[in-house]
Chains A and B, each alone.
Chain A
Amino acid sequence: MPGITRYTTMSRRGLLHTAGGLGLAAGALRGAPALAQSRAITVIADQSNAETRAIFAEIAAAYEADTGVSVTVNNMDHEAHKTAIRSYLAASPPDVCFWFSGNRMRAFVERGLFDDISDLFERENYYDVLGTSTETVSVGDRQFGLPLGGTLWGLFYRKDVFAEQGMTPPADWDGLLATCEQARGAGLTPMTLGTKELWPAAGWFDHLNLRINGLDRHMALMRGEMSYLDPSLQPVFDHWQDLIEREIFTPNHTSYSWQQAASFFVRKQSAMFVLGNFMTRAFPAEEKDQLAFVPFPRIGPETRRYEEFSVNSVHIPARAQNKDVAREFLAYFYRPENLGRFLRPDGNVPPRHDIPVPDDPMMRSLVEALRNADGTAQFYDRDTDPDMAQVGLRSFQEFMVAPDRRDTILERMEAARKRVFRA
């Protein structure tokens, strides 16, 4: 049986030991802690934005210059990293790695693969500056990672198009239907959609379920504690089916990645787009000020507002070789000025209160929407079990194409839930 094997020291590490030794004197002068461990660390990152990559490299280089610790950064392609992390955490962990907070982090914490860094929170007073985002990296009352930028989901529209057609961003369900009609009247596709990557369809499910059933019931469903055949889900699918049958979505949406679909939106052929704030990066720079954001419309009398807010994070693997140096590096990286720089290119919302929010209207509306939220979910495929998510994402896509298959689809999801959560 192929089990998990002990990591065999390689010559590369040996080299790094020597390299670390050279920086020893510099570190000692600054009163760094005793050098029981070598002064070299390895980081595995999964940054797909070239600008972010460059900034992270600069921060690492500045830290090297400052402390004499040598930092090796290996950047992986985002999708490949999701696979690789399962190998390297068990087999040959780096000292620092990037990942996602919430349920995806919990899976590794439960298997003892991420280090408890509550001590770092204590020492650096992160509890004070982070507030509620501490929860996203907590299991029980212990912390296992540092939250990075958050992606907020909601409804995007073009100011110029809305102004031309005299449309207003919808605040509630009736408003949404009315705006869709108005957009159609103006010859636009009301709602942009590309579901080739599956997850954009799940965004619709999450929003509808959070609005109709609230955060607690939504999370119960995500944890597998609630049946997909539960009657309370029927109104969610009723609302959704209503939209599908009104044909508000981009036709043939399964042919398009969200990015391809976004070109309709950019070209002013469709009116609105429900997506995360990474959407801004698919928008030509000179037109960015035309892009605006409002939270997903309210549904019914429910006044409490729950949003989708997915937070990435950075961790120290439990089997890392240089956990102390890794902590020092993280503390340096997490300084407000460094973290702020690192987060800016992606336009994500900073987790620290003491990072000045970039002064642009988009960021202001994101922060405001987040401040008004009564609670946040991360996203379907981050909140539920990966096995369940795979079935769920595909089912939502199918529902958006063939809503008449609702019963079959829900039964299939329920069967998967029973299998995955052993319910």
Chain B
Amino acid sequence: MNALDAVEKRALGGSGPTTEAAGPWRSNRSWLTPVLFLVPGTFLFLLIIVVPIGQSLWISLHDWDGFEQPVWLGLDNYRELLGDPQFTTALRNNVIWLVLFMVAPPAGLAIALMLNQAIRGMRIAKSLFFIPLVLAPVTVGVVFTWFYDPTFGVLALVFQAFGATGPALLSDERLVTFAVVIAALWPQIAFCMVLFLAGLNNLSEDVLSAGRVDGARGWRLFWHVVLPQLRQVGFIAVVITVIGALRSFDMIAVMTQGGPFGSSSVLAYLMYEQAIFSYRFGYGAAIASVLFLIMAVFIAWYLRRMLRLEREAA
């Protein structure tokens, strides 16, 4: 969470453009058009995303194998969670993911800054840097598994070159999660890079020139003039990274399947495993609900903060 704070403070530190939100709602009486704008998206989202979330919460109060009549359990699934060591492990791993994933926004920004030059060939370079994001997660997982292979992997070969034995990262209960996170960071950094590239292209030249006239250069210009203008993009990059960290699933499914013996599982994977392999939809839904609750607390706190700061800035 500290990294997140830092990004946000930086983003709000300088004199960014104001984002006053008081619109012509009252003065113009033209409320019909805006409402019409909102209706289709809202309806679709409520119907296909929000209602099913409610249904899943309902399922979490039942014992259900996906076929037969669900049996009402009340809070039993949640009680079982509290005593399930696998749940604790998954929760702990989610925290590790969240913390380590915060490397992605600054790393993505660094690459975006490097690429933000109009030199021949740079457009192609940008496209190539973007590639990790478009590769199927299965492939990314497989390639990194090969990297980590204790006998034939690149990592092992490097260690062998120094006469040492490489660690079997994916076999080690303590290291496995870190190894998976590093693989997952690859596309995530590319993701943040794309966002920051868009942000950098939208910098106000006026403000930049003003800063330069004031004698700000390099780091100082970056810190006081550029970053504040990237606050919205930065905010999105951080949110996306948090979502990515908490929803992490594909890499684990491909690289470890939660193993060895459950030590690299996270809540999203545990939920999937319970629902799909063990056919415990109720218990799986309960895990998902807890995950959702963690996310909801986080997002509520963050939304409040963001809206308050926007209001202050206005």
Residues of A at the B interface (CB closer than 8 Å) are 1-2, 4, 82-83, 86, 90, 111, 195-198, 251-256, 260, 263-264, 386-387, 389-391, 394-395, 397-398, 401
Contacts and interface: CB of A to CB of B under 8 A. Distances in A.
Interface in B259-274: 259-262, 273
Given A83-B276, A255-B170, A196 B261 contact: no
A60 to B, nearest CB: 29
B68 interface: yes
A395 B149 contact: no
Contacts of A83: 276
Contact of B261 (A4, A82, A252, A401): A401
Contact of A197 (B150, B168, B257): B257
Given A111-B68, A254-B170, A254-B171, A394 B280 contact: no
Interface string B249-265: 00000001101111000
B55 A1 contact: yes
Interface string B139-161: 00000000011111000000000
B257 A198 contact: yes
Contacts of A252: 150, 168, 171
Contact of A2 (B55, B171, B261, B276): B55
A198 B148 CA distance: 19
B261 A390 contact: no
B278 interface: yes
Contacts of B259: 196, 198, 254, 394, 397
A390 B68 contact: no
B58 interface: yes
Contact of B257 (A1, A90, A196, A251): A196
A252 B259 CA distance: 12
B179 to A, nearest CB: 10
A240 to B, nearest CB: 16
Closest 10 CB pairs of A and B: A252-B168, A398-B261, A254-B260, A387-B278, A255-B171, A254-B171, A252-B171, A255-B170, A390-B278, A252-B150
Contacts of A386: 277-279
A86 B260 contact: no
A253 B273 CA distance: 22
B251 to A, nearest CB: 14
Nearest to A201: B261
Contact of A255 (B59, B68, B149, B273): B149
Contacts of A86: 66-67, 279
Interface in B59-77: 59, 66-68, 70
Given A254-B171, A255-B168, A397 B278 contact: no
Interface residues on B, range: 20 to 34
Nearest to A90: B67
Nearest to A395: B261
Interface string B153-187: 00000000000000011110000000000000000
Contacts of B170: 196, 254-255
B155 to A, nearest CB: 11
Nearest to A387: B278
A397 B279 contact: no
Contacts of B171: 252-255, 401
Contacts of A387: 278-280
Interface of B is mostly: loop
A253 B170 CA distance: 10
Given A1-B58, A252-B171, A254-B168, 19 more contacts: A1-B59, A2-B59, A4-B67, A86-B279, A198-B257, A198-B259, A252-B150, A252-B168, A254-B170, A254-B171, A254-B259, A254-B260, A255-B149, A255-B171, A387-B279, A389-B277, A391-B278, A394-B262, A397-B260
A4 B65 CA distance: 13
B184 to A, nearest CB: 18
A195 B171 CA distance: 10
A386 B152 CA distance: 34
A394 B259 CA distance: 8
Contacts of B152: 263
A143 B3 CA distance: 62
A87 to B, nearest CB: 9
26 contacts: A1-B58, A82-B276, A86-B66, A86-B67, A86-B279, A90-B67, A195-B260, A196-B257, A198-B259, A254-B168, A254-B259, A255-B148, A255-B149, A255-B170, A386-B277, A387-B278, A387-B280, A390-B277, A390-B278, A394-B259, A394-B261, A397-B259, A397-B260, A398-B261, A401-B171, A401-B260
A67 B91 CA distance: 58
Contacts of B58: 1
A82 B148 CA distance: 29
Given A2-B55, A260-B149, A390-B277, A397 B261 contact: yes
A394 B148 CA distance: 22
A398 B70 CA distance: 33
Interface in B36-90: 55, 58-59, 66-68, 70
A111 B170 CA distance: 40
A355 B150 CA distance: 44
B57 to A, nearest CB: 12
Contacts of B257: 196-198
Nearest to B279: A386
Contacts of A197: 257
Contacts of B261: 254, 394-395, 397-398, 401
A387 B150 CA distance: 31
A388 to B, nearest CB: 8
Contacts of A263: 152
B204 to A, nearest CB: 49
A254 B148 CA distance: 12
Contacts of B280: 387
Nearest to B170: A255
A93 to B, nearest CB: 14
B81 to A, nearest CB: 13
Interface string B120-152: 000000000000000000000000000011111
Contacts of B67: 4, 86, 90, 111
A86 B151 CA distance: 39
A134 to B, nearest CB: 26
A41 to B, nearest CB: 25
A45 to B, nearest CB: 20
Contacts of A111: 67-68
A260 B146 CA distance: 10
Nearest to B56: A2
Q: Which of B58, B152, B171, B260 has the most CB of A within 10 A?
A: B260
Contacts of B66: 86
